[in-house]
Amino acid sequence: MTLARSNLAPSSWSRILLDGARPEAVAAAVTAGRVMPWAHVLLESSRGAETVLDIGSGRGDLSAMLALHGKRTTLLDWSEENLGFSRELFNALAVRGRFCQADATKHLPFRTSSHDMVFTCGVLEFFSDPQIELVLEESWRVCTRKLIVLVPNALSAAYRLGKWYMERTGKWEWNGEVPFRSLRPYFRKLGAVRITEYSIASRHALKFLTMPVGKQLVRLLQRALPPATDSRPAFLRQGYLLVTVAEKA
């Protein structure tokens, strides 16, 4: 997969994403419901969907959570290391999944309308506009109901401030990650009949405030924010992630 905004190889991405994690520990967290708020968004959005495709699946914990709730999940990633971790995770949970190593910026190896729901989380922010359009076109082709995209939110003040500081001090490890204000223009091109967009995880955005005064800012802001597990739309669009849900007729 060619990343226009990043020069990291698949093995480098695996190192960052896996970061010493153990499949058994991740499985225990998923089983206990200790998951990120965007996992709850995906679970709620998948009501009525039987087959789900996860594009850029990473560790596979989001798809594993959906599989625990009876979804037939397919995980697509360009890294064999990531998929190997996901297989062990699924085995630890005693759930089934399909695992596909492929380049998401090319023709997807699935037939048209083969999945009820398709989602991608933390992927498109590393692609150029032509690549994003291609990924979305292919994702739209293979889904029958919903396409859900989660990317960093450009309107999140805490995330943007923290990102700026870490980039200036050489501590930013996500290379060319570019946040978005909206993905609506992309989905309008696809002919989506309904587009819903909001942000979530405002408390998670505080983790980026690593500057010397960051701890004071976090203590101050935490009092006004909902719990870290809250998956409701964030106040004033200050959530860390932008959620865009596009529905077909």
Task: Check whether 7 has a pLDDT greater than 80.
Answer: no
Query: Rounded mean pLDDT of the chain?
Result: 92
Helix (H/G/I), strand (E/B), else coil: 123: coil
Domain count, the chain: 1
Long-range contacts of 175-178 (CB under 8 A, 24+ apart): 175/5, 175/6, 175/7, 175/8, 175/126, 176/3, 176/4, 176/5, 176/6, 176/126, 177/5, 177/6, 177/125, 177/126, 177/152, 178/5, 178/125, 178/126
Global pTM value: 0.92
Q: What pLDDT does 249 receive?
A: 79
On whether residue 223 sits in a domain, the answer given is no
Cβ atoms of 214 and 162 closer than 8 Å:
yes
Q: What is the CATH number of the domain that holds 66?
A: 3.40.50.150
Element housing 22 (H / E): none
On whether residue 133 sits in a domain, the answer given is yes
Cβ atoms of 76 and 55 closer than 8 Å:
yes
On whether residue 194 sits in a domain, the answer given is yes
On whether residue 219 sits in a domain, the answer given is no
Element housing 6 (H / E): none
Q: What pLDDT does 246 receive?
A: 96
Span 121-130, pLDDT tens digits: 999 999 999 9
Which residue range forms the structural domain that includes residue 68?
10-154+175-201+234-247
On whether residue 211 sits in a domain, the answer given is no
On whether residue 31 sits in a domain, the answer given is yes
On whether residue 58 sits in a domain, the answer given is yes
Span 102-124, pLDDT tens digits: 999 999 999 999 999 999 999 99
On whether residue 131 sits in a domain, the answer given is yes
Cβ atoms of 74 and 97 closer than 8 Å:
yes
Higher-confidence residue: 1 or 144?
Answer: 144
